[in-house]
Amino acid sequence: MPWQALLGPQARLGATLALDAWYAQLRERAGSATPFHQAVLGGRLAATPGLAFFAGYQAALRALWPSAPDGPGGLCVTEQRRLRPADQHTRLEGLQLRGEKDFVTGGTAAQWLLVSGRDESAGEAAHLSLCVVHVGDPGVTLAPGPQLPLLPDVPHARLRLTDAPCERLAGDGWEDYVKPFRTLEDVHVLAALAAWLYGVSLEQSWPGALSLRLAALLAGLGEAARGPVRAPQTHLLLAGLNATFDALAAELDRALGDSPHGVAWRRDRAVLALAGEARARRLDKALVACGLDLGLAGPVAAR
């Protein structure tokens, strides 16, 4: 999908559509676009930051697993707010999963799920496999969760698996999927939210320089999306782009003002600060690997 289409005028999709219907229209408009370009287009078509986030999250899933089905999906790893393999209890036995997961982004709109399950033998170190589960199959139950203070237009659910049939993906669930997804989600969600802000800037005739800086941020994120997800230079570039975006905060607040978009942005922007400690650790490792000492500390490093 060419930048001309992504940066030019766009008519937003209706915010009152059901989440799965909204996403189906986005996928139809995106066609064969790469996950990154789908994230940017989703941000342009989203009426709210929540819908932009959802577009970025879904794009990150497709960057992680290019064979993903058309409908909305989710990555389900956390159990009782814990993420480490040793703290998980969901078990993979043969090609069946048994256990519970805390959080399904998109709630009951999700049609397929990537679920981690432990499969080590007794006495071995904890090991995760990642498996595909289809909502609606026997033993797969989604229980809607309460509305969260952030992103209220994106529901969530808890997942219960009772000998649920699944397909195991090749590779190590933790090293090949869960850890890389953190970086993929950072890139694609920031791209979608920056694209949403860029669209608002055009609609509200913000100062041209601010619109151009948001466009430049999108270009940088496009480069980060092309980089190897584990490479230190990718994490270094992403940290720089986060710092660039953070530097726009005051100017964005002034431009948004007390408009409905401004109220929604100030409520939902904290989603970008989630997992800040993990990002800081990845940046520290990237700096060491690249032989750099930039004296970073505080908010920049933690974002």
How far apart (Å, rounded) are the C-alpha atoms in residues 181 and 282?
13
Over residues 247-261, the pLDDT tens digits come to 999 999 999 999 999
Half-sphere exposure of 167 (CA within 13 A, CB side): 10
At 43-64, the pLDDT tens digits run 999 999 999 999 999 999 999 9
- The confidence score (pLDDT) of residue 196 equals 98
What single-letter amino acid sits at 224? A
The DSSP code sequence of 282-299 is HHHHHHHHTT------TH
pLDDT, one tens digit per residue, over 217-247 is 999 999 999 999 999 999 999 999 999 999 9
Count of CB atoms situated within 10 Å of the CB of 44: 26
Give whole-number Cα distances, 92 to 8, 100, 179, in Å. Answer: 47, 12, 19
Angle at 19 between CA 14 and CA 24, to 5 degrees: 80
Residue 150 pLDDT: 93
The domains of the chain, with CATH numbers, are 19-63+176-302 (no CATH), 73-168 (2.40.110.10)
- Residue 10: how many other CB atoms lie within 10 Å: 18
